[in-house]
Amino acid sequence: MYAIPIDDHRAFALDDSEFVAADKAEFASDVNEMDVAEPSTWGCHYIDFDPFQVTSFTTPGAGIAYSATINPETNEVWILAKDNLYIVFPQDQTIGKAPVPEDGISLFDVTQIGARYYLSCSNGKVWYYDMNTFEWTALITSEPLPERQPRGDTETAADYVARTTPARKAHIIKYPHFYKSMAVGNDHYFLGALGRVVKIGADGREEMRLDSGARLVTGAVEGDQAVLCGDSPIAEIFRGTFDSGFERIFQNEERALHMTAMHKGLRYIGAAEYPGFYGPSLYTCEGDELTPVVTGCAREPDNLLQLVSTGGVLWAIDRRGIFRFTSEGWSLTELSDIENA
């Protein structure tokens, strides 16, 4: 399941569990691939928690979702899966495949900001789709990746790599991938690898690189400040603006621990989906001390897909369900609860 909160009371959940199960089966040595059913559907669920009610329908499936954004006015959901872009249309309960702006690029994130849908892409590129013009526009571009040169007849593999790698490496350093787009006040921030942050606003474009060179994979907004979250070479979280600079407020050798949300004056740290991480996935953080959160629900959170505060509610979402922390405490809504509603 992939889910995103809409506001304090609503969320959208996509049941892509058929595809997750098939993906796991593909790598399981004790599973006969002939016994694994071919995935075919997505379950689309619009959930209202107060009171609890669900509107559901199924569409043809398109793989495991890894990024999504929702238009709160139309409830249309834009979803990335397998480097393709899909749109869920709740009005007629259908799904459409949207054309991507460029062939040969990887898509890491889709985020709606105002009337635009931003795609954070490989090779230092950001595109946006404008709902007023219905067109894709390249916002941040890069030079073409150097073409792979043919290997000489007498050239050894080591010599070939030594000759061709520097140009491609230089391109990656100059144009690292972008992983996240977000609005900070009236400005738009774009977060990338190697500590790259680009701000575009009314005053034009500014760019900087964080000294640590962190791979910035997600972010959030706290008041008038941006929160930048990196997962490599270690988990690092920074807070600030271009004008004030960015202060590192958290670091940990465990790379999974790079998700964060500030809720009711308390900072929470979450563990993202990372191979090999099986510890507690949700903590409170005071200074350098992490304290595991005990929700008291039927189970505790697995590695998280989302850790978000919408003001009155803290959301911790994993592949199996939705944890919500309200004034009444923690509650857990499993995928089975959603399907049975």
Q: Domain ranges for the chain, please list them.
A: 1-123+125-175
Residue 77 has what pLDDT? 98
Q: State which amino acid sits at residue 88.
A: V
Q: State which amino acid sits at residue 90.
A: P
CA of residue 83 relative to chain centroid, distance: 13
Residue 8 has what pLDDT? 97
The Cα–Cα gap between 22 and 226 comes to: 38
Residue 147 has what pLDDT? 83
Residue 29 has what pLDDT? 56
Q: How confident is the model at residue 144 (pLDDT cuts 50, 70, 90)?
A: confident
Residue 238 has pLDDT above 80, yes or no: yes
Residue 85 has what pLDDT? 97
Q: How confident is the model at residue 33 (pLDDT cuts 50, 70, 90)?
A: low
Give the residue from 314, 284, 318 showing the smallest Cα distance to 299: 318
Beta bridge pairs of residue 275 = none
Range with lowest mean pLDDT among 89-93, 285-289, 329-333: 285-289
Q: Is the separation of the CB atoms in 178 and 192 below 8 Å?
A: yes
Burial of 195 (0-12, 13-18, 19+ CB in 10 A): buried
Q: What is the mean pLDDT of residues 42-70?
A: 96
Which pTM does this prediction carry? 0.92
Residue 248 has what pLDDT? 97
Q: Which residue is it, tokens 């691939």?
A: 33
Burial of 164 (0-12, 13-18, 19+ CB in 10 A): middle
Q: How confident is the model at residue 275 (pLDDT cuts 50, 70, 90)?
A: confident
Q: Is the separation of the CB atoms in 132 and 150 below 8 Å?
A: no
Give me 196's structure tokens.
């790259």
Residue 28 has pLDDT above 70, yes or no: no
The Cα–Cα gap between 52 and 58 comes to: 20
Query: Which residues in 232-272 belong to E strands, given as ranges?
Result: 235-241, 245-252, 259-263, 266-270
The Cα–Cα gap between 166 and 156 comes to: 17
Q: Which residue is it, tokens 């500014």?
A: 206
Number of continuous H segments (helices) and E segments (strands) in the chain: 3, 28
Bond from prior residue into 101 cis (ω within 30 degrees of 0) = no
Integer angstrom CA distances of residue 12 from 101, 215, 287? 26, 28, 34
Q: Is the separation of the CB atoms in 39 and 61 below 8 Å?
A: yes
Residue 207 has pLDDT above 90, yes or no: yes
The Cα–Cα gap between 336 and 334 comes to: 5
Mean pLDDT value across the chain: 93
Percent of the chain with pLDDT over 70: 96
Residue 30 has what pLDDT? 57
Residue 36 has what pLDDT? 56
Beta bridge pairs of residue 137 = 128
Q: How confident is the model at residue 185 (pLDDT cuts 50, 70, 90)?
A: very high
pLDDT digits 0-9 by tens, 284-306: 999 889 999 999 999 999 999 99
